[in-house]
Amino acid sequence: MLDVHIDDFYKDISVILLTLFRNFPCKANLYVDDLTGPAVLDEFGLQDRRFRSALSAMSWLAEEGYIRHSGDYNPDGLDQAVLSERAFKQLTKAITISDVSEQQQIENIASIIEQAIHDRSSIKIKHACQMFFGSIDTAAFA
């Protein structure tokens, strides 16, 4: 499958956002090992591709204005990270989802991300992230 790295990206940002949401408004240290498991070094002593991808996902969220952090260099993650106002508003945004029985539920995106992670469903995680970024309608998730 060619887009496994994209599935990993969505999973990583889901866990990052949910971790910071659970700690909000307190700052928290984010470690790549919490996303990928123990670091694996290659034959040159460098972090493997999965580790670098997870660290890049953290940096990307910061560069795009979804999280803030201390700015100190940490090769293992981000120090003193917190959700930005933009991310907090997106995660707490109330949405209505119709299930199969046509009953409507009002949830927020944070709870949808949490359920998707709990279900270990790459498709649900992807859709939850796309909802967070506003690239799909909530009707597509139901």
pLDDT tens digits along 50-92 = 888 999 999 999 999 999 999 877 888 999 999 999 999 999 9
53 and 96 share a domain? no
8 and 77 share a domain? yes
- Looking at per-residue pLDDT, the higher value among 120 and 106 belongs to 120
66 and 31 share a domain? yes
Q: How confident is the model at residue 136 (pLDDT cuts 50, 70, 90)?
A: low
Look at residue 91 in the predicted model and tell me its pLDDT. 95
71 and 131 share a domain? no
- Total tally of structural domains belonging to the chain: 2
74 and 105 share a domain? no
Q: Which of 65, 84, 103 is the last residue before a domain boundary?
A: 84
40 and 60 share a domain? yes
62 and 35 share a domain? yes
98 and 125 share a domain? yes
Q: What is the 3-state secondary structure (H, E, C) of the chain?
A: CCCHHHHHHHHHHHHHHHHHHHHCCCCEEEEHHHHHCCCCECCCCCECHHHHHHHHHHHHHHHCCCEECCCCCCCCEEEEEEECHHHHHHHHCEEEEECCCCCEEEEEHHHHHHHHHHHCCHHHHHHHHHHHCCCCCHHHCC
pTM for this prediction? 0.84
Domain limits for position 123 = 88-140
Look at residue 3 in the predicted model and tell me its pLDDT. 78
- Reply yes or no on whether the pLDDT at 2 is more than 80: no
Q: How confident is the model at residue 140 (pLDDT cuts 50, 70, 90)?
A: very low
72 and 99 share a domain? no
Look at residue 102 in the predicted model and tell me its pLDDT. 58
Q: How confident is the model at residue 98 (pLDDT cuts 50, 70, 90)?
A: low
Q: Which of 52, 67, 84 is the last residue before a domain boundary?
A: 84
